Structure formats: structure tokens, C-alpha cells
Amino acid sequence: MYAYDELDRTLINERVSEFRDQVKRRLSGELTEDEFKILRLQNGVYLQLHAYMFRVAIPYGTLSSKQLRRLAHVARRYDRGYGHFTTRQNIQFNWIKLAELPDALAELADVGIHAMQTSGNNMRNVTSDQWAGVAPGEVEDPRIWSEILRQHTTLHPEFSFLPRKFKIAITASEHDRAAIKIHDIGLRLHKNADGETGFEVLVGGGLGRTPFIAKTIKPFVHGRDILSYVEAILRVYNQYGRRDNIYKARIKILVHELGIEKFAREVEEEWKLMGDVGLTLDHSAIEEVRSRFSYPAYEKLPHMPDELKQAAADPLFERWRKNSVAPHKVQGYSIVTLSLKPVGGPPGDATADQMDAVADLADKYSFGEIRVGHEQNLALPHVAKRDLPQLWRALDRLGLATPNVNLVTDIIACPGLDYCSLANARSIPIAQELTRRFANHDTADMIGRLHINISGCINACGHHHVGHIGILGVEKNGEEFYQITIGGRADENAQMGVLIGPAVPYAEVADVIEDIVEAYLALRDRPEELFVDTVKRLGVEPFKERVYATR
Amino acid sequence: MTSPLEQKKIRITGPSVVTANRTWDGAVVYRTADRGWSTALADAAIVGTSDDARALLAEGVADDVGAVGAYIAPVEVKEGGVIKPGNLREHIRSKGLTIDLLPA
């Protein structure tokens, strides 16, 4: 966990006071909506179909049990008893009242939570691997660098009025769980030949109506230089990025139009021109941030405790363990993913009661720490293996032990037309129907790893482009239709999915997905060949034929 | 579907209402004939011509303290004068979520 210092606390509290005054002036009519809109967006407040939506930042997806309990309280006291975890490791409340928002914000500020830079044309929440600091083989904890960037960019004037929103993600593992290649800047922490820590810097990734995979502009930037290098990128973006057309304003468009080589040269020249602007991180500055992260006092525990051996006789426990429990860097411990994708439930939603219960379980089994992943699940990052059977029983009672992590029912979905004012079509009921179709865990296990991502509009909050199967809601003559892509992925081999054919109506989507999955099962050359690899080997044609031959 | 908040040209082809979100709590509201807002679609003022729609919208937009993001939305007027939302988006705004919040 990162412990906020007095400066952080003062900043957050001052922000609450400012926003309270802004809301008061808005409700009295002193501020018009046009004047107020940019202010509310700077505090994570959107206006959606039914109500205001309040997006709260969870920096790099790390929460304490105390913070999660407070989020539960906000859900219960100010909303309708639940929250929605997002693909950028944030949480959204869907029914909040503007008049009560300052109070909610103040209650969150008490535990070091805020909503700064969760919306608007600024540097958004810096995201990271939800297993940061505990994943075996990690170069080092990427959250330290996420926090350094967070501190530098928060309320920074150069980053507060950008041409468009700007997103950074950081990974420090071989396997990219932070989807860095679909971010404006992706940073991959690694060591150079001299053993020094630094970053491969990728720029220009993003989804939306013009999707691009980020490209590397510099294979190694020393850690001490990362702030100045990121600033050089932002300066080039600020200088050349388009402000005349919202659809062409993201950095990915600039990178595409300039070409990656020219963009890289521009950044390099800007970086040299900047010279020493006081952004070089000396060792003590990095260590100061590092020292504010606390790590558990792990016990020395056996690799295979008796409790785990005994529990292995229970096939339900074993199914869950194999699916939801991952290796930890410390012997005797595990990382446990809590699926927020129950059969028939809205993906990524958690009730206030579930949040409170998870906070209690985190205290009991995970040193009081919880993580949020971009796949819209939670994780307990420090669970002793001996405690896994007890934890499983508790999670099962809460509906949080669905053994479907990374399987066909672990669906990423945006709120869609049920909530969102931008959406063309619904996402959640499509996801719910798919989870019912594939509810049988044996079937899901047999299918293997398969990511279905659903967006209700081209803005792609559900990351449909990079789903192994992507589903995009569109509108045709007032009816909901869905375009289907296959072969996308968001990991270290990220690529966009390929459209398989004409959009299909709402009522046929689940049938089409079943057809695609059945085609895969018939086409894969062995059970271990993942869906996405079969698509890579054979292309989309066999799937297209299966779906459209009878339609 | 372009967001109705981006409506530029106003040309209606059937009965319509002006809808918005109430400023203090964001609730869905409809412009009424007595220059107020109501959370009930049944209370909405119905317009049938583009000129009337423009006038009702202008009136709604002017009440910036009462409601936010006013726009014109289609409705259907059923037998007995019952007003129904004219598209899925407005159906969801009027009737609420189409989903189960709890697993089923």
C-alpha cells in the first residue's frame, strides 16, 4: 500500500472544498452548466441517461480494506448499493445526486480517495498490473513508477488542458496484464545490459473509432529520466496535436499522421532541447516514493501446506483453485482473483455488502489489501496457501468464487445503453445472456482461455477491438445491431480483431457467439490451442462461413 | 445513434417531448405545458411541429438551473392519450434498466 503524506491529504481536502463551492454555485444558478461542466468533469462527474455518474480513481488498482469499506459506504449512502469496476481500474457510481456529491467526495477524501483526473482532457489514472509487487519474475514493483507519474502529472498545468484525454499504463512483467499497447503511452519496465532499470516506451495506442496498437519509440529510457521523457512526449503532443476535431485529437492520430519514426525524432529533439529542467529523478527521490509503499511481513510458509493437500480432494475447490489462484513471488502465498462475473450478473459490478465482505476477507487473509484489474475483477494479492480453502468457502457464500477467470464468461463489458448517454446499444444484457449460455463450468473449462469484450458504442470502453471475440453495438434504423470481430488480444502480442461480416441483431448475438465457439472447438488442432491461436492459424474465413452460411 | 445532446437541426416527424436531467439529482425529467419539469412522461407537453418543438426546447434550455442537457425526444401517443417513449434509449430513460442487477 502507498501511504499518503500531508501534501497529498491537503491537496485532496482542498479539492473537496473547491468542488463543494462549485456545486453550490451551480445549484444556485451562479454557474451555468456550460461553465460547470469542465469543473465537474475534473472531479469525475458525468451526466448519464438516468443520473450523474461519479467515477472514483483507484490509482494503479490498489485499495486498502479501509478504502474499500468507504467505497461500500458511498455506494450504500449516496447511490443504490452497488458500484461498477471499470477497465481503467476505477469504480463508477451510477445514481449519485449532484447536491450530495461534495459530501461523498469528503467521505472518500478521509481515506485518501479522490476523483481527480478520472475524466476530462488531462492525464488520467495511471494504471498498472493488478499483480504488481507480487507477481513472480517481475522486474520491480511498477506501482512505484505509476505513483511517481501520478504525483508529477496531478494538476500539472501542462497536462490539465490537453487536446484530449491521455492514458498511461505500466507493466513490469513479461506477460502484460496492464494492456499497455492500447494506451497513449505504454511503459514496459525492464533492465538493460548493465542491469539498470528503465522503460521501453511505446506511444500511440488506443481504441475508439480509430484503433491503433502502440509502437515503440525508444527501447530504453533510464528510470531517472522517465518524467522528462514523458514530458517531452506530452510537449510534442501539445504542440502538434489537433484541437480542431475531437475525433482526431488523440496522440494516436498524431503518431499515425507523422509516422512513428518522425514522431520519435520529434520527441528526441524536444527532450534534448528541454535539457535539465529539474525532472531528473535522483536516487533519493525514487527511494522516497518507494519507502511509502508498505509490503506485508510475510511468514516463512511451506510450498504445499497440509490444508491445501486435504482440500484438493474437493473437486469444486480444486476447480476454483486451478482457475482463480495464481503463483506469488513469496513461497507459501498466492494471488487470488475474485470473479465479478457471476452467471447472469452485470460484469464488474459489486454490491456494497460484497465490498464490505471483501474488505473483511482482505483483513483476514490478505494483509488488508485489494487490487482491481482492468478485466473488471478484484484480487487479494497476499493470501497464504494454507488459508485458501477457508477463503474459497467465504467467497463462495458471497458469490465471488465463480471459477471463470479468463474463460468465456469472464466478459469485459461497458455499461452500454442501460446507463451511458453515448451508447448506441446495450452491452450488459448481451453479457448476461452469454454467461447463461456458457454457464456450465465443464464446458467453459473445455473451451479454455477466451476473452469476450463488449462495447455499446465505438468509443470502446469495453475494449471490443482487443477481445478474442469482440462485440460492438451499433444502431441501424432505431434497432440494436452488433458487429463481431475475432482474433483481437490486449497482451504483449496485442492486435486488433478482424470483423467477420455484417452486424447481427440483438436477438441473434448469443447464437452467433455459440456458433463461433463451436467452430473453434471443431477447428482447433489440439485442446491446448487457444481460440485466439486457432484464429491466427486459420484466419477468420472458417468462422465467417459458420456464422453466415445459415443466416 | 448520435447522442441527442448533439442535436443541431430540429426536424420532428411525429409527436415529441422535451426531456432533460434535473440539475440537483440528475433524474430524468420532461418539460411540462406549465413551464415546469416533471419526472412523469405522462405530464410532458407534446409537440407536433418543428416550430413548436424548437420553442419548447428553447424554453427548456433557458431553465438551466432546473434541468441540464435538454433535447427533443420522440414519443408515441397511444389510445386514450397514453404517452410511450419513441425509441429504446427513451424507453430506458423512462422505465429504467433493462437488466437484472443480481445474478440469475
Contact (CB, 8 A) for A342 and B103: yes
Helical H runs in chain B?
50-62, 88-95
Q: Is the sign of the CA dihedral A37, A40, A43, A48 positive or negative?
A: negative
Domain ranges in chain A? 6-109, 142-291, 306-398, 412-548
Torsion angles phi and psi, residue A240, rounded to 5: -105, -20
Chain A residues with CB under 8 Å of a chain B CB are 26-29, 32-33, 47-52, 82, 95-99, 342-346, 349, 399, 417-419, 421-422, 424, 426, 428-429, 432, 475, 478, 480
Burial B36-71 (b: 16+ CB within 10 A, else e): ebbeebebbbebeeeeebeebbeebbebbbbbbbbb
- Residue A16: which of A51, A46, A45 has the closest Cα? A45
Nearest CA in chain A to B99: A429
- Residue B74: which of B51, B98, B50 has the closest Cα? B50
CATH (one of 3.40.640.10, 1.10.1030.10, 3.30.413.10, 3.40.50.150) for A142-291: 3.30.413.10
B20 or A278: which leads in pLDDT: B20
CATH (one of 3.90.480.20, 3.60.21.10, 1.20.1090.10, 2.160.10.10) for A306-398: 3.90.480.20
Q: List, for chain A, all residue ranges whose pLDDT scores fall below the cut of 70.
A: none
Contact (CB, 8 A) for A222 and A144: no
- B 70-89 → A contacts, CB under 8 A: 87-89
Mean pLDDT, residues B11-33 taken together: 96
Q: How far is CA A331 from CA A133, A327, A374, A386, B74, in A?
A: 14, 9, 26, 12, 63
Mean pLDDT, residues B97-104 taken together: 79
Q: How high is the pLDDT of residue B6? A: 59
Q: How high is the pLDDT of residue B8? A: 63
pLDDT tens digits, one per residue of B30-69? 999 999 999 999 999 999 999 999 999 999 999 999 999 9
- Give dist(CA A157, CA A153) in Å, integer: 8
* Residue B100 in this model has a pLDDT that exceeds 90: no
Contact (CB, 8 A) for B71 and B22: no
Residue A448: exposure state from Cβ atoms within 10 A (0-12, 13-18, ≥19): middle
> Confidence band (pLDDT; 50, 70, 90) for B11?
confident
Look at B23 and A33 and tell me if their CB atoms are within 8 Å.
yes
Contacts of residue B24 in chain A, CB cutoff 8 Å? 27, 97-99
Q: How high is the pLDDT of residue A276? A: 85
Look at A418 and B28 and tell me if their CB atoms are within 8 Å.
no
- Give dist(CA A197, CA A224) in Å, integer: 9
Contacts of residue A422 in chain B, CB cutoff 8 Å? 3
Contacts of residue A32 in chain B, CB cutoff 8 Å? 64
Select from B23, B28, B102 the Cβ nearest to the Cβ of A50.
Answer: B28
Q: How high is the pLDDT of residue B9? A: 74
Contacts of residue B5 in chain A, CB cutoff 8 Å? 421
A257: enclosing H helix or E strand: helix A251-258
Look at B3 and A343 and tell me if their CB atoms are within 8 Å.
no
> Confidence band (pLDDT; 50, 70, 90) for B104?
low
pLDDT tens digits, one per residue of A464-497? 999 999 999 999 999 999 999 999 999 999 999 9
Nearest CA in chain A to B104: A344
Contact (CB, 8 A) for A236 and A158: no
Q: Do the first three CATH levels of A6-109 and A412-548 match, i.e. the same topology?
A: no
Q: How high is the pLDDT of residue A82? A: 97
Q: How high is the pLDDT of residue A263? A: 97
pTM score, whole prediction: 0.96
Helix (H, G, I), strand (E, B) or coil at A62: strand
B102 or A209: which leads in pLDDT: A209
**Interface pTM, i.e. ipTM:** 0.92
Cell of A50: 438516468
B103 or A60: which leads in pLDDT: A60
- Give dist(CA A269, CA A264) in Å, integer: 9
Q: How high is the pLDDT of residue B3? A: 59
Domain A412-548 has CATH 3.30.413.10: yes
Question: What is the CATH class of A6-109?
Answer: alpha beta
